[in-house]
Amino acid sequence: MKLIDCTVTEIGAALDAGQARSVDLVEQWIARTTAAATLNCYTAFDAAGLRRQAAAADARRASGQRLPLLGIPVALKDNIESVGLPCGDGTGALHGQLATRDAVVVQRLRAAGALIAGKLGMHELALGITNHNAVTGAVRNPWDHARIPGGSSGGSGAAVAARLVPASIGTDTGGSVRIPAALCGVAGLRPTVGRVSRSGVAPIALTRDTPGPLARSVADLALLDTVLSGEEMPMSTVALRGLRLGVPHSPFWDDLDAGVARLANAALQTLRAAGVDLVDVKLPEVAPWSEEIGFVIVQHEFLRDMRSYLAERACGVDFPQLVAGIASADVRPLVQALLQGPAVSETAYAQALQTRRQLQDSYARAFAEHDIGALVFPTTPSRAARIGEDQSFIHNHRPCPTFATFIRNTDPGSNAGIPGLSLPIGLADGLPVGLALDGPAGSDRRLLALGMAVEAALPPMPLCPSWN
């Protein structure tokens, strides 16, 4: 296996041992990215900048410096600001506009020695899960180019799966890191809301938004999490024997496609054989509460938070101009309605926040009363839909709404603000399937340790076919 096909931790160890140079590896990543251009993962790829950064990283290492990500490329979703690169949020009015500051997460990546590789494609304004973007084009799933990579961080998932870059940073509001992780066959982490800075990141709704990493192993996610959050708590070792995981059968395990059901149930059997105690957990109120509050919060906060972001960025674009530049047919009507005035009253918004607190309490009680480390369920009910199936797709022999179906399992935890992890568990008819683990609020490091133990028990994910 080529070193560029390895994980972040493996690449870092080889660089530290003097077995490779960043400048040589970067040339291989550049060549592969060029060969895989049809995937349309990047909205901006900085090959010259990558070479400069790699040479500087090798010089620092030669001088004796050691940093967690020194000389390792990381790519960014197109809603994360990075000096010298465009930050278009996937939309027409901002497309190609260079950022004049680094988001806090980018500052942390640079301080850890990471090379910023470029900007990755996303669903327009992050308001969707197909990544079928009319401004920058559709990002294609590396496993099947006719299918979606998931979203809204679709480029972030596809680029890591195709091994164009060993890690990426996306953002997650309702599943936008975990859904592409699942559909592209990589690992993704949604941190507890507020744990990773959102400064310098174009918002949807600050109550729900969080940046999060995607990579090819949970150990890589843990390393990136330390960098992004600044939390240096050592990873504990979790033994599977005696570990209690909650299985919330309804609705999380309902109406799965055959491939998802087969692999997810096989994963449970493997965990049970390894000594995991699988506990039935009933959360009947979670889905209706989440459905009740999710869009209300987004409608209210997007108008407020995006206006504040545009003013702070001083990019010469106001909210009406932003709306005028929207090109994607599924996003335009959603945002245009907000121009008519606040679609959600202050009373309705306050009620949604109150219901959110009830949702959070329900999750907290479930974790405490059942003494479980995490809830386990399929990340998405279906494998990747086809590109162009923006409004509906055929799921279990009937038309189903694309957006609502794919966020069904990730949105409740997002609304509660709790941490979530998606792990790849194999291929069903050539398409990846993901297994999700949701943990209690603030339990991110414990969840990652738990995820490493689960990952080690499951069959390794095969490599996606390479482009060189």
Catalytic residue numbers, as ranges: 77, 152, 176
CB 451 within 8 A of CB 421: yes
From 20, 197, 30, 5, select the one nearest 111 (Cα to Cα). Answer: 197
**Under DSSP, is residue 465 helix (H, G, I), strand (E, B) or coil?**
coil
Q: What are phi and psi of 203, to 5 degrees?
A: -95, 160
Instruction: Pinpoint the alpha helices (H) of 68-217.
Output: 104-111, 154-161, 178-184
Q: How many CA atoms lie within 13 A of 397 on its CB side?
A: 1
Q: Token pair 């033994």 is at which residue? A: 239
* Range list of β-strands (E), 297-384: 374-378
**Under DSSP, is residue 395 helix (H, G, I), strand (E, B) or coil?**
strand
Cα–Cα distance for residue pair 100/94, rounded to 1 Å: 13
Q: Token pair 């491939």 is at which residue? A: 259
The neighbour count for residue 73, using CB atoms within 10 Å, is 29
Cα–Cα distance for residue pair 153/147, rounded to 1 Å: 15
From 116, 128, 118, 136, select the one nearest 153 (Cα to Cα). Answer: 128
H or E element at residue 456? helix 444-457
Residue 228 identity? L
Return all residues near 105 (Cβ < 8 A) that are at least 6 apart.
Answer: 80, 169, 196, 197, 200, 201, 211, 228
Q: How buried is 273 (Cβ within 10 angstroms: 0-12 exposed, 13-18 middle, 19+ buried)?
A: exposed
Which tokens sit at 459? 């069959």
DSSP structure string for 32-74: HHHHTGGG--EEEE-HHHHHHHHHHHHHHHHTT---TTTT-EE
Q: What are phi and psi of 433, to 5 degrees?
A: -130, 140
Question: DSSP class of residue 141?
Answer: B
Q: How far is CA 226 from CA 44, 117, 186, 229, 301, in A?
A: 26, 20, 19, 5, 29
Q: Token pair 């400069």 is at which residue? A: 52
Q: What are phi and psi of 17, to 5 degrees?
A: -80, 0
Residue 151 identity? G
The neighbour count for residue 48, using CB atoms within 10 Å, is 9
